């Protein structure tokens, strides 16, 4: 089942190859249908997941190349919620492109479907080999999405995006070789690797290699400058998936690989990592504050928000860790929603320059209402999703490290500053351009894209336990592995990988 779900989009993409390119409507709805099917699959997994079993479930294995280079997928609670997030955002991103993408539509939808498989694969892979394959495979469709359907400076943005990411992942590849060589039976199965004891010096180097790859992906300050460019140039769907899902892979990589594989090295670098997380929060917020382009603003806000995520994960208190994971989901939804809304605005006004916008709540009251809710979800208003994650991160961090938590909590003020300023500059005041007064408000398709997100904002804000309980056990396990509470871990789970 797991494999069926992750390869369904590829299968859909292959079928699309045989559809004549003139049938754009069929292409659109077919792609939407495929990714919606994936979402229903993910729902099935979500409902049938056993929250009391911390190890991967729905496991599927197959011999592939041999020498430990095998196919092995499955989902523990953390993977599960990230898979659901991916499966939810993909159809929404697709639907948001129906009017936005006007040329080479068939290729566009094929790329999104390929990207979806890559993203799902990263979260379900259970050995490093497979993880790396999906990690790299995902880059290719993203490269094309920005490079072919992007804005004016798309080439510059794509080259920067690919170079940044490649530098990180190549070093990680070297690390994977080392692990492969030193693991018993050449297994790259995560839970077997966790029980390796790696000499101190190698740990340091390996951790640096992995951490760099993931820090770029997060992105942590100072590895963030690819993000604003990639976001500004990417089409809406690309931005949604980039912010909503791809950035989560940095955090996921840290908690699944870099931290538990090299725990001593992680402990050694912890102060520096904390500093980077806290700087990211404040720096990202300050940079977001001075942007003129709405998309760049949201891109920098991601730096700030993911700083909160990373702070929570690094500090390894149950509440901060769980909060960090929860905040990944929140950021995926809120920032995804922000990019969707800015995309809808751009389709109408053809500008994202906030100097030229203003007063749009008059002609676009529904869009303004959705933007308002999303902004407050992102600010972390209690009752909405963002608060629960932020609160847990800060609460848990405060228990462990008061200074870091207090500095990070400044983000509470700063996020309100830049997001409310953005809302004001776009929606409030007088309309600057007469033409804008006649803009059409959101249509049914656009409302239907936003409604599931808003429902989730409220649901995740009012009843977070429903979601938290799904990954609490797995999160505890990953934390305890990172804290080296177990010696021979893979014995806990029957049948490691051979």
Partner 1 sequence: MSFLLALIVLAPALGALVLILLGRFLGKRAVFWFSPATVGISFLASLIAFTTFKNHPSVFYLFPWISVGKFHVDFSLLWDPLSSIMALTVSGVSFLIHIYSVGYMGEDPGFRRYFAYLNLFTFSMLLLVLAPNLPMMFVGWEGVGLCSYLLIGFWFDRDTAADAGKKAFIVNRVGDFGFLLGIFLLFTLLGNLDFQYINSRAASLPTTAATAAALLLFLGATGKSAQIPLYIWLPDAMEGPTPVSALIHAATMVTAGVYMVSRLFPLFARSGLALEVVAWVGIITAALAATIALVQNDIKKVLAYSTISQIGYMFTGVGVGAVSAGMFHLFTHAFFKSLLFLAAGSVIHAVGTQDMREMGGLRRKMPITFWVFTIGALAISGIPGFAGFFSKDQILAQAYLHSKTLWTVGVITAGLTAFYMFRLIFMTFYGEPRGWKHAHESPPVMAIPMEILALLSVISGWFFSSFHQWLKPLGYIHLEELAHERELILMGVSVGLALAAIVLAWWIYLKRKRGLRTGFLYTLLTNKYYVDEIYEALFVVPYREGARAVSRYFDAGVIDRAVLGSGKLTLEGGRLLSFLQTGLLKDYALWMAAGIVIALFVALRGLL
Q: Which residues of the chain form contacts with partner 1 (CB under 8 A)? A: 159-160, 163-164, 222, 224-226, 283, 286-287, 289-291, 318-319, 322-323, 359, 361-362, 376, 381-383, 387-388, 391-392, 394-395, 398-399, 405-406, 409-410, 412-413, 416-417, 420-421, 424, 427-431, 462-465, 468, 472
**Residue 343 Cβ vs partner 1, minimum distance, rounded to whole Å:** 23
**Residue 359 Cβ vs partner 1, minimum distance, rounded to whole Å:** 6
Toward partner 1, which CB reaches closer, 94 or 278?
278
Which tokens sit at 39?
A: 């979402």
**Residue 312 Cβ vs partner 1, minimum distance, rounded to whole Å:** 11
Taking alpha carbons only, the member of 250, 255, 240, 160 closest to residue 212 is: 250
Toward partner 1, which CB reaches closer, 15 or 417?
417
Q: How many residues does the chain have?
A: 498
H, E, C per residue of the chain:
CHHHHHHHHHHHHHHHHCCCCCCHHHHHHHHHHHHHHHHHHHHHHHHHCCCCCCCCEEEEEEEEEECCEEEEEEECHHHHHHHHHHHHHHHHHHHHCCCCCCCCHHHHHHHHHHHHHHHHHHHHECEHHHHHHHHHHHHHHHHHHHHHHCCCCHHHHHHHHHHHHHHHHHHHHHHHHHHHHHCHHHCCEHHHHCCCCCCHHHHHHHHHHHHHHHHHHCCCCCCCCHHHHHHHHCCHHHHHHHHHHHCHHHHHHHHHHHHHHCHHHHHHHHHHHHHHHHHHHHHHHHHHHCCCEHHHHHHHHHHHHHHHHHHHHHHCCHHHHHHHHHHHHHHHHHHHHHHHHHHHHHHHHCCCECCCCCCCCCCCHHHHHHHHHHHHHHHCCECEHHHHHHHHHHHHHHHHCHHHHHHHHHHHHHHHHHHHHHHHHHHCCCCCCHHHHHCCCCCHHHHHHHHHHHHHHHHHHHCCHHHHHHHHHHHHHHHHHHCCCCCCHHHCCCCCCC
Toward partner 1, which CB reaches closer, 392 or 450?
392
**Residue 415 Cβ vs partner 1, minimum distance, rounded to whole Å:** 9
How far is it, in rounded angstroms, from Cα 126 to Cα 61? 9
**Residue 152 Cβ vs partner 1, minimum distance, rounded to whole Å:** 18
**Residue 407 Cβ vs partner 1, minimum distance, rounded to whole Å:** 11
**Residue 382 Cβ vs partner 1, minimum distance, rounded to whole Å:** 4
Toward partner 1, which CB reaches closer, 89 or 419?
419
Toward partner 1, which CB reaches closer, 132 or 387?
387
Toward partner 1, which CB reaches closer, 129 or 321?
321
Toward partner 1, which CB reaches closer, 24 or 433?
433
**Residue 420 Cβ vs partner 1, minimum distance, rounded to whole Å:** 5
Toward partner 1, which CB reaches closer, 128 or 211?
211
**Residue 290 Cβ vs partner 1, minimum distance, rounded to whole Å:** 5
**Residue 314 Cβ vs partner 1, minimum distance, rounded to whole Å:** 17
Tokens 């409302």 appear where?
Answer: 447
Toward partner 1, which CB reaches closer, 74 or 380?
380
Toward partner 1, which CB reaches closer, 132 or 289?
289
Toward partner 1, which CB reaches closer, 114 or 364?
364
Tokens 């007088």 appear where?
Answer: 430
Burial 131-154 (b: 16+ CB within 10 A, else e): bbbbbbbbbebbbbbbbbbbeeeb
Tokens 């069926």 appear where?
Answer: 4
**Residue 126 Cβ vs partner 1, minimum distance, rounded to whole Å:** 26
Dihedral sign for Cα atoms in the order 320, 323, 329, 330: negative
**Residue 17 Cβ vs partner 1, minimum distance, rounded to whole Å:** 35
Long-range pairs for 26-29 at CB < 8 Å and ≥24 separation?
27/105, 27/106, 27/109, 28/94, 28/98, 28/105, 28/109
Toward partner 1, which CB reaches closer, 43 or 462?
462
Toward partner 1, which CB reaches closer, 309 or 468?
468
**Residue 387 Cβ vs partner 1, minimum distance, rounded to whole Å:** 8
């Amino acid at each position: 089942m797991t494999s069926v779900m992750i390869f369904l989009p590829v299968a859909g993409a292959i079928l699309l190859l045989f559809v004549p390119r003139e049938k754009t409507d069929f292409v659109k709805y077919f792609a939407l249908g495929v990714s919606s099917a994936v979402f229903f699959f993910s729902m099935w997994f979500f409902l049938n997941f056993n929250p009391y079993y911390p190890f991967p479930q729905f496991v599927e294995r197959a011999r592939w190349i041999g020498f430990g280079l095998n196919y092995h997928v499955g989902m523990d609670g953390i993977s599960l919620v990230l898979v659901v997030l991916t499966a939810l955002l993909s159809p929404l991103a697709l639907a948001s492109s129906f009017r936005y993408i006007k040329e080479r539509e068939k290729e566009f939808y094929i790329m999104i479907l390929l990207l979806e498989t890559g993203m799902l694969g990263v979260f379900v892979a259970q050995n490093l080999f497979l993880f790396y394959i999906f990690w790299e495979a995902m880059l290719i469709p993203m490269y094309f999405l920005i490079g072919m359907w992007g804005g004016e400076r798309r080439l510059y943005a794509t080259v920067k995006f690919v170079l940044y990411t490649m530098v990180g992942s190549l070093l990680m590849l070297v690390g994977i070789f080392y692990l492969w060589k030193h693991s018993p039976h050449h297994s790259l199965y995560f839970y077997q690797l966790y029980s390796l004891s790696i000499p101190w010096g190698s740990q340091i180097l390996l951790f640096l290699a992995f951490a760099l790859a993931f820090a770029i992906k997060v992105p942590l300050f100072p590895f963030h400058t690819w993000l604003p460019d990639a976001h500004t140039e990417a089409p809406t769907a690309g931005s949604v998936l980039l912010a909503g899902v791809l950035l989560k892979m940095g955090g996921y990589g840290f908690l699944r690989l870099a931290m538990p594989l090299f725990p001593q090295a992680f402990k050694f670098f912890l102060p520096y990592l904390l500093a980077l997380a806290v700087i990211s929060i404040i720096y990202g917020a300050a940079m977001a504050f001075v942007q003129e382009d709405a998309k760049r603003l949201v891109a920098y806000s991601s730096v700030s928000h993911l700083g909160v995520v990373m702070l929570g994960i690094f500090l390894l208190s149950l509440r901060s860790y769980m909060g960090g994971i929860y905040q990944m989901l929140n950021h995926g939804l809120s920032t995804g929603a922000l990019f969707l809304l800015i995309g809808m605005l751009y389709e109408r006004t053809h500008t994202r320059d906030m100097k030229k916008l203003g007063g749009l709540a008059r002609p676009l009251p529904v869009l303004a209402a959705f933007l308002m809710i999303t902004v407050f979800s992102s600010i972390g208003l209690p009752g909405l999703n963002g608060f629960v994650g932020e609160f847990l991160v800060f609460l848990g961090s405060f228990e462990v490290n008061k200074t870091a938590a207090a500095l990070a909590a400044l983000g509470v003020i700063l996020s309100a500053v830049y997001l409310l300023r953005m809302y004001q500059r776009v929606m409030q005041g007088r309309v600057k351009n007469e033409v804008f007064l006649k803009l059409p408000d959101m249509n049914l398709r656009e409302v239907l894209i936003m409604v599931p997100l808003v429902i989730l904002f409220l649901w995740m804000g009012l009843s977070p336990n429903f979601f938290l309980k799904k990954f609490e056990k797995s999160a505890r396990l990953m934390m305890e592995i990172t804290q080296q509470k177990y010696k021979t871990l893979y014995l806990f789970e029957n049948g490691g990988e051979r």
